[in-house]
Amino acid sequence: MELSEIYEPIKPDLARVEEMIRSAGQADLPWLPGALARDLRDGGKLAELLAYSLKGQGKRLRPTLTLLAGSFYNYNPERLLPMATAVEILHTATLVHDDAIDNSPVRRGQPTINQLWGDEKAILLGDYLIAQAEELAAATRNPRVITRLARTLMTIAAGELAQGSSAFNPELSRQQYRHRITSKTAALFSLATESGAILSQAPPEAAKILKDYGYNLGIAFQIVDDIMDFIGSEAELGKPVGSDLAQGTLTLPAMLLLERYPENNPVREFFQNRDRPEAIKRAIELVRSSSIVPECYEIASDYCARAGRHLRRLPDNASRRSLLDLADYVIARRG
């Protein structure tokens, strides 16, 4: 199923989220005197940086999750739209920071902020985007989701610190891997679904079902991303194949490769000697020619099944069907 079909129940409001994202890119700074706002916006290229980072290239999965999760009880666009926008802008901020930390030259097939404007501007832009997300969350006037966004940001930052500390470590356990992707992708997905549930006044049991859905879907999504880093093309990925290994990030396919070939393993070889990039190519070939990819997809499929396991206890509507279809999409996607 195409994403456009999955998004159908919330399509008009998703378009409104897109408008709010574009508005955020204007860098109006309305709380400042006009001359000062113009000088800050134009002198530091803030508007240019924001417009570049927020242009609609992503799938908008996270705001979609917020709106779909908010569609089961008291659907309140006045509060759901700012939160959906906040989740997407926070996601963009994490990407900007990630690219600067990893010195990534390309994201979604386009030069990164750090590549075009430098690391300093990328970090400051990411900080600005985080503040925008916090302001939008505050517009919901709901302390629970405001706190939830702040805690998600702390979780993501802690996950980045842990990932940096474990770079080029071939001994990472599966539990550590799961914790790492929980603190990044799954944290944002569950923020999206739980905040939608809270803002729609879902009963506690339903809010937990939707939070768990986001958590499990996020883990599955990241596992598929990690698979694609080995089997995708540069055109599909928007970045070079094997980028994770090149940055010293051990993902599930590489972990299975280490388990399967404990001797003369190209992953271990590269992690011990980073001047041998040909080892990355051999690791990719070994993963592609083995049963590792189907095994990883099976694990991702299990998380998608967990995501949808309790959705049928929610009211039967078009949004519930979209959430179920989205779990299928996550496994089938190619980029």
Which tokens hold the place of 97?
A: 């920071």
**Tens of pLDDT, residues 32-84:** 998 898 888 888 789 899 999 998 778 999 999 999 999 999 999 999 999 99
Structure tokens at 60: 């908008």
- Span between the terminal Cα atoms of the chain, in Å: 15
Weakly modelled stretches of the chain, pLDDT under 70: 334-335
Q: What is the pLDDT of residues 117-141, one digit of tens each?
A: 999 999 999 999 999 999 999 999 9
Q: Which pLDDT score, from 0 to 100, does residue 277 have?
A: 84
The answer for residues whose C-beta is within 8 angstroms of residue 68's C-beta and 6 or more apart is 9, 10, 193, 196, 319, 322, 323, 326
Among 168, 166, 189, 184, which residue's Cα sits nearest to residue 176?
Answer: 166
Are the C-beta atoms of residues 290 and 182 closer than 8 Å to each other? no
Which one-letter amino acid corresponds to residue 90? L
pLDDT in tens, 263-274: 889 999 999 988
This prediction's pTM:
0.94
Q: Which of 218, 194, 187 is nearest to 306 (CA)?
A: 218
Say if residues 72 and 173 touch (Cβ distance below 8 Å). no
User: Which CATH number describes the domain made up of 3-332?
Assistant: 1.10.600.10
> What are the sequence ranges of the domains in the chain?
3-332
Classified as helix, coil or strand, 278 is helix
